[in-house]
Amino acid sequence: MSGDNLYQWKTYSVDGNNVAASNGVHITPDAAFSDAIDVDVLFVCAGIYANEFHNQAMTAKLQAYARAGVSLGGVCTGSIALANAGLLDKCRCTIHWENIEGFVEAYPGLDVTATLFEIDGNRYTCSGGTAPLDMMIYSITLDHGKKLAASVAEQMLHSLVRQPHDHQRSSIQYRTGISHPKLLAVIAYMEAYIETPLSLPEFADRSNISLRQLERLFRSLLNTTPSQYYLALRLQRARQLLTQTTMSILQIAVATGFKSAAHFTQAYKHHFKHPPRTERLKAVN
């Protein structure tokens, strides 16, 4: 769009061999990561179960690039590789929303946000999906100005370029398909109070609604009870922690508001038809 060759790139895998993505697409890299030279910016791209991948040689090379002043980025769960190498300390960073809880638990000292992407100094992280496109267009803006960035976005039929501070997840209204303001307020409180659950009367009081009306709204609009909906939210959070962290069953139980591991296991098994340990084994295998 500029008439000049402003950017060029190469892809690398750890050993130089093809890499199969989770959707079955095979990526053919240019070379092994150990052969990477003359790098100005390096992005680590990762997907499912990135927390289980450990490669000391890759970590050492990332650290060497950091010492040399190379800009480093993580796409989706690529942020885990950077964090594991200690390269996101004192930087704002982000990761896919499904992985945020586990990421925060694994690296409690990091400044983790739920935004689409973060550019802090020479560290770039984004949440995955289509967010890399927004981050690249924003980066072109920083490098070459808004006019060129707008031309690139238009060429890619990307008419609504999102900003760094935009949130990853759709609104609760969009996700649930409901529009009742008081019910939306209750659900927002439920999502915010996973580790320290509130009682239904507390939710009703905070949302300025009667308990009877609360029960009626959940049944008529969501075909469930408030208690069942809230429990499902907490168990979904537990499922994310089981598959994305090495936290113990007891730690996950506490992090999702259960009084004991036994109570958590019973509720989990009833909801998902298998115990938490089976979930973790499925994730590993």
3-state SS assignment for residue 183: helix
Co-location of 114 and 229 in the same domain: no
Residue 171: the pLDDT is 66
Distance in angstroms (rounded) separating the CA atoms of residues 156 and 169: 23
Query: Can you give the pTM of this predicted structure?
Result: 0.70
For residue 92, is pLDDT > 80?
Answer: yes
* Domain-embedded: residue 4: no
Question: Residue 116 has which token pair?
Answer: 């689409």
* Domain-embedded: residue 105: yes
Q: What angle do CA 164, 239, 45 make, to 5 degrees?
A: 40
Co-location of 148 and 241 in the same domain: no
Co-location of 58 and 187 in the same domain: no
3-state SS assignment for residue 231: helix
Question: Residue 265 has which token pair?
Answer: 């296991």
pLDDT in tens, 184-239: 889 988 988 888 999 999 999 988 899 999 999 999 999 999 999 999 999 998 99
Distance in angstroms (rounded) separating the CA atoms of residues 75 and 41: 13
- The number of folded domains in the chain is 2
**Distances in Å between the alpha carbon of 203 and those of 72, 181, 253?**
43, 14, 22
* Domain-embedded: residue 270: yes
Distance in angstroms (rounded) separating the CA atoms of residues 193 and 244: 20
Distance in angstroms (rounded) separating the CA atoms of residues 99 and 133: 20
Instruction: Tell me what the pLDDT averaged over the chain comes to.
Output: 90
